[in-house]
Amino acid sequence: MSDVKDLGKVAVLMGGRSAEREVSLMSGGGVLAALRSLGVDAHGFDPAERDLSDLKREGFARVFIALHGRHGEDGTVQGALELMGLPYTGSGVMASAIAMDKVMTKRVWVAEGLPTPRWQWLAPEAQSRAAVMAVPDVIGLPLIVKPPREGSSIGITKVSGYSQMQDAVALAAKYDADVLCEEFIEGIELTCPVLGQGTSARALPVIRIDAPGGNYDFEHKYFSDDTGYRCPSGLPPEEEAEVQRLTLAAYRALGCRGWGRADLMLRAADRKIFLLEMNTSPGMTGHSLVPMSARAAGMSYEQLCLHILQHATLDAPGVHAA
């Protein structure tokens, strides 16, 4: 689109009711300011405070989803927007729902032959003390325990001994009935954003994350200045290319579109790369990684926001409620 006025009235969805509400408000605030600076008729919209039906009633033409976590990144709000016929940013209903669930994501990746750490899924009925204590026997120590449908490192524990397992599972279960136990990969933490869809999707520069003590938790992701980020990553060119190749394959396997960001680990022992998760509504805060990578590729924060918005669409354009 040559004229931002052609985009019409734009809603930036932010806030919401998930455990990542605070981060979403920061992301949405940044996106809103960026779009307005370019002349877009953009307005903030918090689904925790307003009914989604107001979007249609108030004449919004498209939606930038800056929500994170449940009811924003999991296909639910995407489904509501599909019913209203309002084009939105990011992945559609199916890809959003699958990517939000790390267990389902792993099942798809394994079926496609893509590398991901070994894992064990503990359904609510499989969280007895005996079952929990048996997990390290299967995937070894140390390991990671996490809620499979949360983001931003919420509810995650690195377990180094059997005695920590029960508390780690209990913490994860506060956020999700299911619990994911995952092999810990010792090495370099990486992330790689993607823009586009299908064969036209392209991977942006890889970012290397150097968190204090290797602890890239909620505080270090969003509020601390102690975390180091390298972009360019400093990886050998062939490793950078392989991270980008795997990221694109993972993105396409899940059916993602618009934009996204894969988190990966490069194992120190043998330089093997593992896919951890795919984010379909990544952060857009001052500490966020997609803007950092885009900047390294020559795209400003404002240009990135506009690019994402211009590619807002529906799963089935032209087939929706009147």
Higher confidence at residue 167 or residue 214? 167
Is pLDDT of 31 > 80?
Answer: yes
Query: What are the structure tokens assigned to 231, written together?
Result: 């972009």
Whether the CB-CB separation of 194 and 247 falls below 8 Å is answered with yes
Alpha carbon of residue 190 to chain centroid: 14
Phi, psi at 218, each rounded to 5°: -55, -45
Class of domain 4-89: alpha beta
pLDDT one-digit tens code per residue, 224-275: 567 899 999 999 999 999 999 999 999 999 999 999 999 999 999 999 999 9
pLDDT for position 272: 98
Average pLDDT over residues 292-298: 97
Class of domain 119-183: alpha beta
pLDDT one-digit tens code per residue, 263-285: 999 999 999 999 999 999 999 99
Mean pLDDT of the chain: 93
pLDDT for position 9: 98
Q: Please state the CATH superfamily assignment of the domain spanning residues 98-116+185-306 in this structure.
A: ATP-grasp fold, B domain (3.30.470.20)
Write down the domain spans for the chain.
4-89, 98-116+185-306, 119-183
Q: How far is CA 275 from CA 100, 104, 132, 158, in A?
A: 14, 13, 24, 18
Catalytic residues: 20, 152, 222, 261, 263, 277, 279, 283
* pLDDT band with cut points at 50, 70 and 90 for residue 216: very low
Which helix (H) or strand (E) segment is 21 a member of?
helix 21-37
User: Alpha helices of 215-279 — where are they, by DSSP H?
Assistant: 218-222, 237-253
Whether the CB-CB separation of 231 and 223 falls below 8 Å is answered with no
Q: For the whole model, what pTM was predicted?
A: 0.92
Query: What are the structure tokens assigned to 175, written together?
Result: 């956020």
Average pLDDT over residues 286-313: 96
* pLDDT band with cut points at 50, 70 and 90 for residue 319: low
Q: Which has the closest alpha carbon to 175: 215, 148, 144?
A: 148
Query: What are the structure tokens assigned to 301, written together?
Result: 């924060």
Is pLDDT of 220 > 50?
Answer: no
